[in-house]
């Protein structure tokens, strides 16, 4: 299948902004991502070792605020939609393909090691910062939240500050 | 009128259905904009591709202005929408750790799910990393609980802190965004990168 190009980034931004606006209008809340992954972890811990979940403060707090269970959450349904939406977009554009994407200057193995490390940091940081790029930075900025804007500046500021040290991976 | 759920105009089951539909829009737009490619995403930090900056800022100002106009038209009650809380130390430290994760891994959680949905194996590994990170945070929670809860300032909007109206701050943010677009376009000319 012939590959189609990406859409204009400013058009993409307006569309994403309208999706975010719709989330506030309908549900009174912004978009998110890390929260859904946290629901998966909590479900896993609840299933594998229920006693441990009962005795660990972080999981217990979450269960108390989600009496119907961690998977019955807005973000879980939203992220299921994200998987569908991204898959459809990729299918229409001819981009469905199993691959490890990396700069020609590095090996797949190196790419995967850094992807794992980056994921660990992002997972940890999203809990500490009460949300990731979607829930804290983007949605927080749209409602002018001070905390959201600070987190946004910290994420991108750190990215730029460290870019030099990781340049081999990307350029 | 809005938010529809808070005002009980639609049920909580319908809210989950809407979450799924909104998610489809979210995923579709992210993927079509190129957010399923870590090399495009990381480009913003080196200037060769600033799609992140353009999409992110355009989306933020579109939603921000949309909310202000909706409020002006009486379509939404802004006092009923969720405002992220502000815990100063953890907002900064969390952001710094996420920034390091971004430059190392080339994704954030939402974009990694998009990329995994079209078959990127590095994105799947990144998601595995997120699970480990979230699990580690939960397991070690007593160690950083006091830091996590320190410096709580409530749910302030930035304009309240600096003492201007929402409209004035929104206007300044729009100006900053346009300045950023200019820098982004300039950087792409200055640091071109071949096909990737």
pLDDT tens, B50-90? Answer: 999 999 999 999 999 999 999 999 999 999 999 999 999 99
Q: Is residue A143 part of a domain?
A: yes
Give CA–CA dist B112/B99, Å, rounded: 15
Give the mean model confidence (pLDDT) for residues B16-28.
97
Q: Is residue A115 part of a domain?
A: yes
Q: Is residue A61 part of a domain?
A: no
A158 has a pLDDT exceeding 80: yes
The count of other CB atoms within 10 Å of the CB of residue A166 is 21
Give CA–CA dist B41/B52, Å, rounded: 6
| Closest approach of B89 to chain A, Cα-based (Å) | 9
Pairwise CB contact (< 8 Å): A90 & B30: no
Q: Are residues B167 and B74 in the same domain?
A: yes
> What is the domain count for chain A?
1
In chain A, residues with a C-beta closer than 8 Å to the C-beta of B151 are none
Q: Are residues B95 and B152 in the same domain?
A: yes
Q: Are residues B97 and B32 in the same domain?
A: no
> What is the domain count for chain B?
2
Q: Are residues B62 and B111 in the same domain?
A: no
Domain containing residue A122: 101-171
User: Which residue, among B4, B20, B26, B85, would best test binding to A if mutated, counting the most A CBs under 10 Å from its CB?
Assistant: B26
Q: Which of B45, B63, B91 lies closest to A17 in CB terms?
A: B63
Res A26: pLDDT: 96
| A127-145: b (≥16 Cβ within 10 Å) or e | bbbbbbbbbbbbbbbbbbb
Q: Are residues B78 and B168 in the same domain?
A: yes
SS3 state at B2: strand
pLDDT grade for B19, boundaries at 50, 70 and 90: very high
Q: Are residues B167 and B78 in the same domain?
A: yes
| A36-53: b (≥16 Cβ within 10 Å) or e | bbbbbbbeebbeeeeeeb
Give the mean model confidence (pLDDT) for residues A110-123.
98
Res B195: pLDDT: 64
Res A1: pLDDT: 41
Give CA–CA dist B95/A13, Å, rounded: 22
pLDDT grade for A65, boundaries at 50, 70 and 90: confident
DSSP B33: T
In chain A, residues with a C-beta closer than 8 Å to the C-beta of B86 are 145-147, 150
Q: Are residues B196 and B124 in the same domain?
A: no
Domain containing residue B149: 84-156
Average pLDDT, chain A: 94
Q: B9 or A126: whose pLDDT is higher?
A: A126
Res B47: pLDDT: 94
Q: Are B96 and A125 in contact (CB under 8 A)?
A: yes
Give the mean model confidence (pLDDT) for residues B20-43.
97
Give the mean model confidence (pLDDT) for residues B29-33.
97
Q: Is residue A134 part of a domain?
A: yes
In chain A, residues with a C-beta closer than 8 Å to the C-beta of B105 are 114-119, 121-122
pLDDT tens, B134-192? Answer: 999 999 999 999 999 999 999 999 999 999 999 999 999 999 999 999 999 999 999 88
Q: Are residues B78 and B2 in the same domain?
A: yes
A4 has a pLDDT exceeding 70: no
Q: What ipTM did this prediction achieve? A: 0.96
Asked which of A87-96, A124-133, B1-10, B149-158 is least confident by mean pLDDT, the reply is B1-10
Give the mean model confidence (pLDDT) for residues B124-129.
98
At A40, phi and psi to the nearest 5?
-65, -45
Give CA–CA dist B156/B88, Å, rounded: 11
Would you state the torsion angle of the CA atoms of residues A119, A121, A122, A123, taken in this order, to the nearest 10 degrees?
80
Kindly state whether A69 is in contact with chain B, defined as any CB-CB distance less than 8 angstroms.
no
B162 to chain A: closest CA residue: A146
Would you state the torsion angle of the CA atoms of residues A18, A22, A24, A29, taken in this order, to the nearest 10 degrees?
-100
Pairwise CB contact (< 8 Å): A10 & B60: no
Q: Are B42 and A156 in contact (CB under 8 A)?
A: no
């Amino acid at each position: 299948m012939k590959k189609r190009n990406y859409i204009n980034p400013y058009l993409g931004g307006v569309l994403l902004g309208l999706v975010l606006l719709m989330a506030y209008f309908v549900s009174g809340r912004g978009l998110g991502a890390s929260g859904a992954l946290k629901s998966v972890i909590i479900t896993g811990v609840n299933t594998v070792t229920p006693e441990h979940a009962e005795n660990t403060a972080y999981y217990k707090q979450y269960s108390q605020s989600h009496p119907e269970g961690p998977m019955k959450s807005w973000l879980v349904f939203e992220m299921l939609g994200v998987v569908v939406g991204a898959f459809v977009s990729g299918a229409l554009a001819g981009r469905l393909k199993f691959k490890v994407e990396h700069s020609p200057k590095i090996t797949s193995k190196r790419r995967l090691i850094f992807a794992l490390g980056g994921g660990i940091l992002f997972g940890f940081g999203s809990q500490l910062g009460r949300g990731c790029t979607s829930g804290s930075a983007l949605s927080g900025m749209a409602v002018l939240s001070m905390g959201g804007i600070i987190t946004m500046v910290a994420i991108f500021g750190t990215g730029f500050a460290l870019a030099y040290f990781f340049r081999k991976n990307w350029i | 009128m809005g938010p529809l759920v808070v005002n009980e105009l639609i049920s909580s089951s319908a809210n989950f259905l809407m979450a799924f539909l909104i998610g489809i829009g979210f995923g579709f737009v992210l993927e079509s904009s190129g957010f399923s490619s870590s090399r495009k995403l990381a480009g913003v930090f080196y200037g060769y591709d600033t799609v992140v900056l353009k999409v992110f800022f355009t989306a933020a100002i579109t939603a921000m202005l949309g909310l202000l106009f909706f409020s002006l038209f009486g379509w939404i009650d802004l006092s009923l929408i969720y405002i992220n809380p502000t815990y100063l130390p953890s907002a900064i430290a969390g952001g710094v750790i996420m920034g390091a994760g971004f430059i190392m891994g080339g994704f954030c959680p939402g974009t990694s799910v998009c990329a995994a949905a079209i078959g990127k194996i590095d994105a799947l590994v990144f998601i595995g990393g997120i699970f480990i990170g979230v699990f580690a945070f939960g397991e070690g929670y007593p160690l950083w609980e006091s830091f996590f809860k320190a410096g709580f300032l409530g749910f302030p909007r930035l304009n309240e802190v600096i003492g201007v109206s929402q409209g004035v701050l929104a206007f300044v943010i729009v100006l900053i965004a346009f300045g950023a677009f200019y820098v982004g376009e300039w950087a792409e000319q200055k640091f071109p990168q071949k096909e990737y």
